[in-house]
Every structure is written in structure tokens, then in C-alpha cells.
Structure 1
Amino acid sequence: MTTRPYRPPGDVLVVSATRAEAAHVPDGTQLLIAGLGKVRSATALTRHLAAMPGRYRRVVNIGTAGALHDHHAGLYVPSRAVEHDLSATALAALGYPTPDSWDIPAGDGSVLATGDTFVSDPAARERLSRRADLVDMEGAALVHVCTEFQLPIRLVKVVSDNADDAAMDWPSAIDAAARDLRDWLTATDFGREPGPR
């Protein structure tokens, strides 16, 4: 019996901050390496979607995240993304309401905090843990872009560190995380919802 190779769906765009985090996605995946941080990732995704209107039915952002609670490990599909380094309350008080959080359907109940700071300080970790389960540098920015384009998005994050001093060992955890991300993509057919396509 011959097993046919897995064929990724052509209308799902997978977005990763780094090539290392996407090292094991299946061949033929529609893949965008968007860069680290909110501005780079949001700019790259905006340019890509604007250049290919109507091309995709969903975006899936894969990557690593720091755990804000010691019991968090493994893979998460967040239900909410928050931009933790935006002063949304102060801006609203000045008369400029600016969204800093987004709900994401079909998640697992976890909350992802996104900011341009690489979190490794215990005080910052404790403060963020009151709002979120995980922390990264791109997720909420990509959700914001997809909201503007009225395009569904899934965030899929593998815990690579505990957002503490060990976070600086992040490069050593990427390959194992990339394999877990590949396994999620293939097991869920890139996050396809149940029912007819």
C-alpha cells in the first residue's frame, strides 16, 4: 500500500516570525516569514495580504512563546490576544480609543500577551501573568491585521521557556517546537474547522 504525501491546503497562509520556527512545516505550505516584533510582522503580513486579495481563507500564526505560569508547557491555541505594551487606557482617556485585545474563535481558553519586549525579568513576568498565560512578540499584531482584512486567524504557540533568565536559551528550544508545530498543522489539516469546506 502506498501512502500519498500530505498536501497542505493552498488557501491557508502560515505565518512565522522566523524560519527556524517554521523549519518543519510540510513542503508546499503557503508560508510567510514575517520577522520578529509587532511592526515587522504586521508590515509583512499587511503587504502580503494586500498583494493577494481573496487568496486566503485563513491565516495560521505558528511560533514559540514564553510561559507566564510555571505549570504551562506544551502547545496552545490562544482564545485571546492582548497587546501588553500599548497604553490603551491612557489613549482612551485622551479621546483616542485604541483596541489592545482581540478574541479569537476556536481557541483553547488561553490568553497570549504580545509586546516588543523579550520578557526575561521576574517582575515583568509577574505583572503579565495577571493578564495572560503566554507571551510573544507578534501574535496580537497579526490578529489586528487579520481583523482589518476580515480574515480568520489561529495562533498556535509552543512554550519554549518560562519568560525568565532561561529565555535567553530560546534558540536551543526552537527545533523541538518547530516539530510540534508541524504535527499540529498536519493533525488538524492546518486548523480546518469541522464540516464541509
Structure 2
Amino acid sequence: MTAPLFVAAVAGEAAHLPEGSDVLITGIGTLSAAITLTLTLSERRAAGNLPSRVINIGTAGALRDDHAFGVFEIDRVHKHDFQSAEIPGVTGEALPIAFEPETSGHFPTAQLATGDTFVEDSATRERLAQEAGLVDMEGYAVAAVAHRFGVPVTLLKQISDNADEETASGWAEAVDPGAVQLAKAVRLLADAVVTPA
């Protein structure tokens, strides 16, 4: 069986993963994540060695006060800045509004909103909190690409900030401590039996 592929936006988020881990750094944002992961999985499919699972690790902003600390496993992810209601009328096909990855049962779960905006204001935080507990910039893209290739996906998100006015000044300093937490979560996940949510 092939090993899982760990996908992170920046190298710092994967800095403390176990030695020898298969790691892909995509760059920040949904476009970078989608392009980089698509190219990688295309090459591996052609070589006959798709990963057993894609595991997206990274930081996220907390949209609710009860999601302020620790690592969460995502049980639903949607793209908050994409309006797709009219697309079926044009193309005849509906785009997936959200993905619901399997979860291990070893972590608290949360719903994730993904978008190409660094959320750092309370008004946006409150709006997004109506549909999700966390916000990031890559999760939906990773889930969508993995789904297209038929590879199971897990999203592990560590809370780095509160997605408010203090976010920009504190995110860089939060990445390394967050990477330590993510590495601990990955070690726990390695022993977990993944079951449907």
C-alpha cells in the first residue's frame, strides 16, 4: 500500500512531520493548491502510485469562540467566495457545493469555509460563522482535487488566529507552534481507523 501524501500551503506548516513523510507544498490559495495537487496526482496516477490518502494539514482561523484552540478534523468544507447557483443552467451540471470527508473520531470536528481572502475583520468573521467554525485558503481545493482522483482525503486544521483584526500581525509567529500540534495529530492519526462521519 502506498503512503499518504501530506499537503500543506507553506513549508512551515509541515516542518515537524515525521522524518520521511511524503510532503507536497502547494503555495497559498485555492488556485495554487488545485494546480499543484492536480499535477502531482496526475503524474502519480500515470506511474500507478497514487497515495493511499491525501492529508491536508495547515492553519485556520477560528470563526467562533468555541473553536479557538487546538487541532480540528474537518467533516464538511465549502468555498465561501464562489456563487454557483446559476452554473447548472449554463452547463447542465451542478458543481459540488461542499465535501464531507471521512473522519477518524480522534479529534474534535468542525466545518470549514475556504476562500481566497485572508480573513482579518470581525464583520467577515461573523458572516462566515453562520455556516462554518473555521476558515482557510486551501481546504476546499484539496478536497475537490482528491475527490476527482478518487483518493480519500483528510483535513486537519490547527487554530492559528481568530480571523479578526489581530490576525495579520500574529499569523507568522503562530505557524511553527501550530506545526508542532499538527505533527502530534498526524502521529495519532497514523494509529486511527478512519470511519465514515
* TM-score normalised over the length of structure 2: 0.88
CA 123–96 in structure 1, closer or farther in 2 if over 3 Å, else same:
farther
Aligned to 1:22: 14
CA distance in 1: counterparts of 2:34 and 2:101, whole angstroms? 17
1:184–1:190 Cα contact (<8 Å) kept: no
1:70-129 Cα distance to aligned partner (Å, 9 max, x none): 121211001001010110124345555222211111164410000000001211111100
Range moving further from structure 2, 154-163 or 181-190:
181-190
CA distance in 2: counterparts of 1:182 and 1:46, whole angstroms? 24
CA 112–51 in structure 1, closer or farther in 2 if over 3 Å, else same:
same
User: For this pair of structures, how many residues does the alignment match?
Assistant: 186
Aligned to 1:99: 96
Name the aligned partner's letter for residue 121 of structure 1: D
Q: 1:190 Cα shift?
A: 7.3
Aligned to 1:6: none
Q: State the secondary structure of the residue aligned to 1:178.
A: helix
Do residues 44 (structure 1) and 36 (structure 2) align? Answer: yes
Do residues 83 (structure 1) and 75 (structure 2) align? Answer: no
1:64 maps to which of 59, 67, 70:
59
* TM-score normalised over the length of structure 1: 0.88
Structure 1, unaligned runs of 5 or more: 1-8
Runs of 4+ in structure 1 deviating by more than 6 angstroms, as ranges, are none
CA distance in 2: counterparts of 1:135 and 1:123, whole angstroms? 14
Map of 1:48-197 to 2, 5 A cutoff? Answer: 48-53=40-45, 54-72=49-67, 73-92=69-88, 94=90, 97-106=94-103, 108-168=108-168, 169-189=170-190, 193=194
Q: State the secondary structure of the residue aligned to 2:85.
A: helix
Q: 1:192 Cα shift?
A: 5.2
CA distance in 2: counterparts of 1:19 and 1:30, whole angstroms? 13
Report sequence identity in percent: 39
Q: State the secondary structure of the residue aligned to 1:20.
A: helix
User: CA RMSD of the aligned region, Å?
Assistant: 1.8
